[in-house]
Structure 1
Amino acid sequence: MYFIERDTHGRILRVESDAFPGATEQSHETTTEIAEWLKVHHMRTSTIQELQQSDLDMVRVLEDLIDVLMSKGVISITDLPPAAQNKLFNRAQARQRLGGLEDLIADDDELLMI
């Protein structure tokens, strides 16, 4: 059973297997329209998750880049806005708290050296 919400033009906005407020119709079968909406919705959800993971990966890249620039004397931590300084400091503290455990956490960097 599918519960469906449509916009004013009749386009599907949402499809769920459980009833929800705003559902305007029900269908016992998977129509072509429902199947297409579910396919697009799944692809969109997967892409969003991929981008979110990529964002997390990029944070690590940027953090490493900042470390390299600071170690070469190109920039100083004080060149960054206070909010950025705090975030970098908090991440450094979190990594330090991990202590010896951080060697157990695999980085993708190792894969690049193969």
Structure 2
Amino acid sequence: MVYVQRDEKGRLLRVEREPFESMTQCLSSSDPEVQSWFASRSLHDYLMSLQYSDLELVRVIEDLVQVLVGKGVMAFTDLPEPARHKLQLRAHVRSQVGDLDGRVPEDGRLPY
């Protein structure tokens, strides 16, 4: 059994396993609409996880390039021009923003 909230057009807005104040209906967890809801939520969660890991990986690549250039393993000019431009732009933006530790929420979401 799950507890749901529907909008004025009958679309699911919220599905929970425990009752909640604004719930409008109870459904079987095997209901096709409920199954579809959970499947789409799972896909959304996976996609958000991938997006977050992509952002983390960008920083890893930036650090890797910096280490390889710093150790003389490669020259910055060995990279294609578009890659150099992107790395330089990100470095510039980071230098303008400064250290954001403590000013960005743990979940990484900015308030705007």
The verdict on a shared fold, with TM-score over 0.5 as the criterion, is yes
Aligned mates of 1:73, 1:66 — CA distance in 2: 11
What is the alpha-carbon distance in structure 2 between the residues aligned to residue 77 and residue 95 of structure 1?
Answer: 18
Closer, same or farther: CA 30–103 of 1 in aligned 2, 3 Å: closer
Instruction: Kindly report which structure 2 residues correspond to 1:5-16, keeping only aligned pairs within 5 A, or say none.
Output: 16=11
SS at match of 1:73: coil
**1:70–1:58 distance in 2 versus 1, CA, 3 Å:** same
Residues 63 and 88, structure 1, Cα contact 8 Å, conserved in 2: yes
Distance 2:52 2:101 in 1: 21
| 1:57 maps onto 2:56 in alignment | yes
Q: Cα gap change, 1:76/1:104 in structure 2, threshold over 3 Å: closer, same or farther? A: farther
SS for the counterpart of 2:72 is: coil
* Partner Cα separation in structure 2 for residue 49 and residue 103 of structure 1: 22
Quick check: 1:88 aligned with 2:87? Answer: yes
The superposition leaves residues 19-71 of structure 1 with CA deviations (integer Å, 9 ceiling, x where unpaired) of xxxxxxxxx87561111111110000000000000000000011100100000
Q: Structure 2 length normalisation: TM-score?
A: 0.64
CA distance in structure 2 between the aligned counterparts of 1:46 and 1:70, rounded to whole angstroms: 36
What RMSD in Å do the two structures reach over aligned CA positions? 2.7
Point out where structure 1 has 5 or more consecutive residues left out of the alignment.
5-15, 19-27, 107-114
Structure 2 unaligned residues grouped into runs of 5+: 1-5, 14-24, 105-112
TM-score normalised by length of structure 1: 0.63
Separation in 1, partners of 2:38, 2:100? 39
Equivalent residue pairs, number: 85
Deviation of the 1:102 alpha carbon: 4.3
